[in-house]
Amino acid sequence: MGLTVTISSFFKALGQMGDPRFRRVLLLGVGLTFALLVAAYVGLLAFLNWIGAAAFVQELIGEVRWLPDLITWTSFFLMIILSVFLMVPVASAITSMFLDEVAQAVEDRHYPNLPSVAPVPFSDALRDTLSFLGLLILANILALVIYAFFPPFALFIFWAMNGFLLGREYFQLAAMRRVGREGAKALRRKHIGTIWLAGILMAMPLSIPLINLFIPIIGAATFTHLFHALER
């Protein structure tokens, strides 16, 4: 049941890419995702420089003179490689920004008889975004220690941990629109296994450079379908 509904939700999301309204949100999301990825990359370089790891950066891309060096091919490819890790918090932020618009496009096409809903209040969305984002960043920093002790399993740990956290966020945001915060929490607890599995399905392509740029919006659509399937 869990695997079937997860895969079905994912392919329904992919099937809507031909919808002009959905495609507009997807392309806008990809552009903003890339912009946030660049910002995260710049922040990482600044952090490494601040903690005295500038020599490590220089070994990878040479002496950093910021803007001129950030647009070199070497730096671009390094950013794409690092996107395997940087895309997790970026995906969290993008999903929060576009969830309402993506969910509405999905519901208008696949669930047209549903009553309209008011957008989630900005204060609630911001609170949830910062909470999820902080948890994701902290968990991934702590996971670096686990990766060091279990390197052969690092990728699987990455998928499992971020699948759980992203699934929790995606589903909570998708469900809150229809059943409120407490209703979303109750539904999430009831179907935690299926939601975790769907989160892993999102985390796996997030670790594939370039493809990961599309996942935040596809993920928002997938979890909208998943919510309606589980709520029924």
Mean pLDDT of the chain: 82
Confidence label for 221 from pLDDT (cuts 50, 70 and 90): very high
Most confident of 21-30, 40-49, 218-227: 218-227
Distance in angstroms (rounded) separating the CA atoms of residues 226 and 232: 10
Lowest mean pLDDT among 31-35, 85-89, 133-137: 85-89
Taking 50 as the threshold, does the pLDDT of residue 67 lie above it? no
Q: What are phi and psi of 201, to 5 degrees?
A: -60, -30
Taking 70 as the threshold, does the pLDDT of residue 61 lie above it? no
Taking 80 as the threshold, does the pLDDT of residue 2 lie above it? no
Confidence label for 65 from pLDDT (cuts 50, 70 and 90): low
- Does an H or E element contain 89, and which? helix 73-110
pLDDT at position 63: 52
pLDDT in tens, 111-148: 999 888 877 776 777 777 788 888 888 888 888 888 88
pLDDT at position 9: 93
Write out 105-162 in H/E/C secondary structure: HHHHHHCCCCCCCCCCCHHHHHHHHHHHHHHHHHHHHHHHHHHHHCHHHHHHHHHHHH
% the chain with pLDDT above 70: 82
Q: Work out the average pLDDT over 89-109.
A: 86
pLDDT at position 39: 80
Confidence label for 190 from pLDDT (cuts 50, 70 and 90): very high
Domain boundaries, the chain: 2-17+83-231
Of residues 155 and 78, which shows the higher confidence score? 155
Distance in angstroms (rounded) separating the CA atoms of residues 130 and 128: 6
Taking 70 as the threshold, does the pLDDT of residue 49 lie above it? no
pLDDT in tens, 161-177: 999 999 998 999 899 88
Contact 22, 115 (CB under 8 A): no
Contact 206, 161 (CB under 8 A): no
How far the first Cα of the chain sits from its last, in Å, is 13
